[in-house]
Amino acid sequence: MEHDVKPATWVAHAGGAKDQSSGGVVPAIQPATTFYRDSDYGLHNPDNIYLRPHSENLRQAEAVIQKLEGAAETLLFPSGMAAIAAAFRWLPNGARVVLQDGIYWGTTKWIQAFCQRRGITLLTVDASDTEALAAICQDGVDLVFVETPSNPWLKIADIAKAAEAAHTNGGILVVDATAATPILSKPLALGADIVMHSATKALNGHSDVLGGVLSCREQGEIWEAIRTDRADSGAMLGPFEAWLLMRGMRTLALRVERMSENAQALATYFADHPAVEDVLYPGLPTHPAHALAKSQMTGGFGGLMSVLVKGDMQNALAVAGRLNLFVRATSLGGVESLVEHRYSVESHTGLPQNLLRLSVGIEDVQDLIDDFAQALGQ
Ligand SMILES: *Cc1c(COP(=O)(O)O)cnc(C)c1O
């Protein structure tokens, strides 16, 4: 398929992947773990020896994401965390890492333990403060990691400036753009070296596949190390998951558009609601980094938002308990809307007790607003 089509066209056609042998308009699942040789002992298909490094379904799904990101190469992993671990494991002992604070707790937790074990200096900073980020990199840095928009604070890091801070001080920039999706944001074009997504979230979009992905702006020594480590340590996504992910991604552009529209409307509704103390959403003009978000995201601001309801924790839990449509569950990016009382699972990181994190899905927006209207009691 032609490479110059728009993202919505590219994903709808799954990058042109079809089943060559049957003529099927969707690719087949190839679960074989090993691939045969001909009588002269030559490989029947020179691309395939053994499943761990060689999966047709993986390559097809990677090709779809690679084009969306404008990447030199894309690698899928069995989860978002496996992708993040892969983005760090190449670091030598004694390296220096700058990490954005207040991001997805699972990421922070793993990076803290990894850096401690490996004697890596770990510095944390509010990456939405561009000057603070530049200052903390000044003594040299090997890897800068930011998450934008951040989860659950919805802070926005300036990707171009973060890349500059990393590069002028000897490091690379890795961006977790899970909440933005490759439809709304192109971190590699802004100077990031590696962009990461939890494919579990909006990329797959149906809350039924665990996966993660890294894409690079340029191949080089670090990327080679990541690719080799993935194959040698076996951190590969399985063919069934890769196939399901491909199916999910066909509607990615449509889903992201609808999620963003719904989230924008809900955020606007909350902004004027007497029972709401604050709403954190980069699409609102009142968000402190709205202009920046607008400049580095196109087509919307995604489906992730946080709402601080007036009152205490019991009240926030009661609101969540009264919701009929928003499913009380963690995660984000699925077609169905979710609500999570984040403090209940992460009470030690200074989150407000009245914060409800929402993942806005693709439902009819009036149903979503009505659900909150009755839950908030106004
Ligand atoms: C979910 C998530 C991850 C981790 O991904 P898994 O697929 O659960 O391993 C990392 N970053 C962000 C922003 C996430 O939302």
Residue 130 lies in a domain: yes
User: Would you call 354 helix, strand, or coil by DSSP?
Assistant: coil
Last residue of a domain, one of 228, 249, 270: 249
Residue type, 234: G
> pTM for the complete prediction?
0.98
| Ligand 1 lined by 148 (C-beta under 6 Å) | no
The total of structural domains in the chain comes to 2
| Ligand 1 lined by 198 (C-beta under 6 Å) | yes
201 is catalytic: yes
Catalytic residue, chosen from 104, 155, 186, 371, is 104
The pLDDT value given to residue 109: 97
139 is catalytic: no
Residue 292, domain CATH: 3.90.1150.10
Q: Residue 278, exposed/middle/buried by CB under 10 A (0-12, 13-18, 19+)?
A: middle
Most ligand 1 atoms within 8 A of CB, residue of 99, 107, 206, 244 to mutate: 107
The pLDDT value given to residue 1: 74
* H or E element in which residue 81 lies: helix 80-89
Q: Are residues 65 and 195 in the same domain?
A: yes
Q: Which residues of the chain register pLDDT less than 50?
A: none
Residue 1 lies in a domain: no
Catalytic residue, chosen from 67, 161, 201, 342, is 201
| Ligand 1 lined by 342 (C-beta under 6 Å) | no
Residue 242 lies in a domain: yes
Which residue(s) pair with 279 in the sheet?
307
Q: Are residues 132 and 226 in the same domain?
A: yes
- Give me ligand 1 centre to Cα 80, in Å: 5
| Ligand 1 lined by 241 (C-beta under 6 Å) | no
The pLDDT value given to residue 26: 97
Residue 136 lies in a domain: yes
The pLDDT value given to residue 378: 57
Please give the Cα distance from 15 to 247 (Å, whole number).
Answer: 11
- Give me ligand 1 centre to Cα 279, in Å: 22
The phi, psi pair for 132, rounded to 5°, reads: -65, -40
Last residue of a domain, one of 249, 268, 289: 249
Last residue of a domain, one of 214, 249, 284: 249
Q: Which residues form the domain of 18?
A: 7-249
The pLDDT value given to residue 304: 98
Residue 2 lies in a domain: no
Residue 267 lies in a domain: yes
Q: CA 123: distance to chain centroid?
A: 22
Residue 328 lies in a domain: yes
Residue partners of 17: CB distance under 8 A and separation at least 6: 26, 27, 60, 63, 64, 246
Q: Are residues 72 and 186 in the same domain?
A: yes
Nearest-CA residue for atom 4 of ligand 1: 80
Residue 83 lies in a domain: yes
